Amino acid sequence: MTSHDFSDYKSGIATLIGRPNVGKSTLLNAILGTKVSIVSDKVQTTRRRIRGILNRPNLQIIFTDTPGIHKPQSLLGEQMNETAMESNQDSDVSIFVLDATSPIGKGDRFIAKDLPSGTLIVLNKIDRASPNQILKQLSIASEFGAEQYFPVSAITGQGIDVLLEAVIAKLPDSVPYFPLDAMSDVPESWWVSELVREQLLERTKDELPHSIECRITEWELPYIRCEIIVERDSQKPIVIGKRGQVLKEVGMAVRSQLNPGIYLELAVKVDKNWQDKPESLRRLGY
Ligand SMILES: Nc1nc2c(ncn2[C@@H]2O[C@H](COP(=O)(O)OP(=O)(O)O)[C@@H](O)[C@H]2O)c(=O)[nH]1
Ligand SMILES: [Mg+2]
């Protein structure tokens, strides 16, 4: 970095905040053009703060994806809300994401109460909303008194460039926070455990997605061992599947996203009510 001239450089943190499932993680991936945060149709997929880094000549934006703010039903849930609120207050640009396809309600208003000034409001999923619906949602959102409003689709990419220009306009003059070739602050081993969890979310339903956590217990490349933790004995066979079918599919789907030659072992373990046990949360790194 010593050879760089950072006299005309901008860098800052932009935080994505919003209810679960409005598309924050999908939007982050769309902005960066690469997958840094896992996505699912289940709420509360994102449990920790994840940073994705956008590098352009003369600027670096550190986008922060946060867990969706929700009514907490466990100690983990409470911690997730705190993480999200705190990172939003600490950022240079606050981006509040709303869903064009579902009613703006109590959950959104709860978050809107604490928005920093200068917040940008994004109305996502416009690919699935009619022009009338988009206008209606925007007019409801106008009560939040944001500085600017951006209808976008994280899936089709519509509106993303305009949003990005607005974020750039708000960046302070600063040297970069991260190396110029960094894409995210997520350690590789944690990323692999997230990919495992993403595949499991896709294959489970009801309350099971919330009960699942994954952690890497061995990392001796090309050998990786990932433990899948569930909350009840009865959940174990569902995650394993008939004759191990679910685990087999999960393993294949994850390996296809990793460097060739990786050997991934998956093991399922029960830790009763891990979401409410401080020592379990600590062990899992929350
Ligand atoms: N149609 C449509 N679906 C979207 C869009 N953005 C996200 N989704 C879907 O909404 C669901 C939740 O997305 P996710 O990014 O995990 O939401 P998060 O909880 O806010 O991070 C997933 O099924 C996404 O595929 C969008 O722009 N259009
Ligand atoms: Mg998410």
Q: Can you give the pTM of this predicted structure?
A: 0.88
Edge-to-edge order in the sheet of strand 213-220: 213-220, 223-230, 263-270
Give 145 Cα–ligand 1 centroid separation in angstroms. Answer: 24
Give 41 Cα–ligand 1 centroid separation in angstroms. Answer: 7
Model pLDDT, residue 3: 63
| Residue with CA nearest ligand 1 atom 22 | 41
Give 213 Cα–ligand 1 centroid separation in angstroms. Answer: 21
Task: Work out which ligand 1 atom sits closest to the CA atom of 38.
Answer: 16
Q: Is 157 left (phi over 0), alpha (psi -120 to 50) or beta?
A: left
Range of the domain at 158: 10-169
Contact between residue 241 and residue 201 where contact means Cβ atoms under 8 Å apart: no
Model pLDDT, residue 111: 93
Asked whether residue 151 is assigned to any structural domain, the reply reads yes
The CATH number given to whatever domain includes residue 115 is 3.40.50.300
**Are residue 33 and residue 137 in the same domain, yes or no?**
yes
- Among 15, 19, 21, 108, the mutation site with the greatest number of ligand 1 atoms within 8 A of its Cβ is 21
Q: Is the peptide bond preceding residue 222 cis, with omega within 30 degrees of 0?
A: yes
Asked whether residue 176 is assigned to any structural domain, the reply reads no
**Are residue 23 and residue 99 in the same domain, yes or no?**
yes
**Are residue 49 and residue 150 in the same domain, yes or no?**
yes
The CATH number given to whatever domain includes residue 262 is 3.30.300.20
pLDDT tens for the 286 residues of the chain, in order: 456 788 999 999 999 999 999 999 999 999 999 888 999 998 889 998 889 999 999 999 999 999 998 989 899 999 999 988 888 888 999 999 999 999 999 999 999 998 998 999 999 999 999 999 999 999 999 999 999 999 999 999 999 999 999 999 999 999 999 999 888 888 889 999 999 999 999 999 988 999 999 999 999 999 999 999 999 999 999 999 999 999 999 999 999 999 899 999 999 999 999 999 999 999 888 8
Q: Give the residues surrounding ligand 1 with Cβ less than 6 Å away.
A: 18, 20-26, 39-41, 45-46, 68, 124-125, 127-128, 153-155
Asked whether residue 202 is assigned to any structural domain, the reply reads yes
Structural domain total, the chain: 2
Q: What is the DSSP string of 232-280?
A: SGGGHHHHH-GGGHHHHHHHHHHHTTS-TT-EEEEEEEE-TTGGG-HHH
Give 48 Cα–ligand 2 centroid separation in angstroms. Answer: 9
> Of 108, 141, 169, which marks where a domain is finished?
169
Give the whole-angstrom CA distance, residue 286 versus residue 117: 29
Asked whether residue 243 is assigned to any structural domain, the reply reads yes
